[in-house]
Structure 1
Amino acid sequence: MLERVTLSSNGITLEPLTLAHATDLIEACQDGALWQINETSVPEPDKVMDYINVADSMTDRQAFAVIDERTGKAIGSTSFHDILPTTKRLEIGYTWYAKSYWRTHVNTTCKLILLTYIFETLQYQTVGWRTDVDNHRSQQAIERLGAKKDGVIRGNRVRRDGVISDTVMYSMVYSEWAGIKPKLAAKVQSIF
């Protein structure tokens, strides 16, 4: 398991997810009725505490609350998961934000914070992402980060509506980071 850390930049703080964030996250997931989107991991408002408890119980996941420093409130969540210390690989996922924060600096800031920590502090070699084959908004966001599409794993997930679906896999490796970091930083500054 990775050390639990708090990271921040550009008005966003990522801190370890705890039950203290439940009230804010209940409000955040209702901003856009996000739990109704089949292709995401957003909890239903009455299941937020279970969501936090499950995240905390997973041995290969480190979940963060995404805090808007202007309001002091949690506006979503993101996680490291499928952490493989031997191969220095992990994935970023379980990411969601209140809908009013979509298409703002928040997602790019979070990814810049996390990728900087992963590549420069942890010195991991590979970061992965996965998303539902029908979640085109998420695929575009991952591609805007500079991640490369690795392929599609067919029939490996069940959506909340019970439909078996495919997963699109992406990755970024350490050798790409030096070229990607300044672009992400510039993108954050242009929309911040």
Structure 2
Amino acid sequence: MPATTPLPVTLTGPHVRVEPLSPDHLGDLFAAGGGDEEVWRWQGGPAPRTEEELGEKLTALLAAARRGEYVPFAVIHRASGRAVGWTTYMDIAAADERLEIGSTWYGRAYWRSAVNTGTKLLLLGHAFEELGMGRVQLKTDHLNVRSQEAIARLGAQREGVLRRHRRRPDGTWRDSVYFSLLADEWPEAKARLEARL
């Protein structure tokens, strides 16, 4: 039986909650990461300098979600109750029991905190345990070492590099480093992530 296509859902863990992304999150999101070049460096396009510019990015993502390209989530830091970033399910192929977690960013204050681990624990758990996925992939720019290290800490296996995969906003070419986690690897990875939290 094939996996189930993900729908917008709210998932709650001890440190974060992920909930369907909406324009209501815009103010918090801009406060968390608006105008920070380092936060947006790997996201494609310049850092949004105003709330309106971030709103344009959010609106474009929600339009892509309506076309079935993404299932976007706001990441809520439970201690503050504020949205501190967003993430998505993307490249969804339920018949092949796979999806990708990507287009993720968090405000710099939440880097190397429980936010990323907690978010990935919720999204991976939902993908494997409730949607029936057999593979979850993640990818990042080959120059984004911080992201590669964070993905490896999740227990995902580095699979390889797609060379000259995507043009960056500055016209240079990005190589994309691919990682994946398979359903039979999930129980061990889950135990490690829960221990880290």
TM-score, normalised with respect to structure 1: 0.91
Q: 2 CA distance for matches of 1:81 and 1:88? A: 13
Tell me by how many angstroms 1:180 deviates. 1.0
Q: 2 CA distance for matches of 1:32 and 1:54? A: 20
Residue 116 of structure 1: aligned partner = 125
Q: 1:179 to 1:18 in 2, by over 3 A?
A: same
Residue 39 of structure 2 contacts residue 106 of structure 2 at CA under 8 Å; is this kept in 1?
no
Count of aligned pairs between the two proteins = 187
Tell me by how many angstroms 1:3 deviates. 1.8
Residue 93 of structure 1: aligned partner = 102
Amino acid at match of 1:49: G
- Over the residues paired in the alignment, what is the CA RMSD in angstroms? 1.6
Correspondence list, 1:94-173, <5 A: 94-173=103-182
- Off by >4 Å, runs of 4+ in structure 1: none
Residue 38 of structure 2: aligned partner = 34
Residue 35 of structure 1 contacts residue 41 of structure 1 at CA under 8 Å; is this kept in 2?
no
CA deviation string 1:147-169 (max 9, x = no partner): 01111101111222221111001
Residue 80 of structure 1: aligned partner = 89
Percent of pairs identical after alignment? 37
Alignment gaps of 5+ in structure 1: none
Partner SS for 2:79: coil
Residue 31 of structure 1 contacts residue 100 of structure 1 at CA under 8 Å; is this kept in 2?
no
Residue 35 of structure 1 contacts residue 44 of structure 1 at CA under 8 Å; is this kept in 2?
no
Are 1:174 and 2:183 counterparts?
yes
Residue 129 of structure 1 contacts residue 171 of structure 1 at CA under 8 Å; is this kept in 2?
yes
**From 7, 19, 24, the counterpart of 1:15:** 19
Tell me by how many angstroms 1:35 deviates. 5.1
Tell me by how many angstroms 1:36 deviates. 5.2
Q: 2 CA distance for matches of 1:171 and 1:161? A: 28
Amino acid at match of 2:56: D
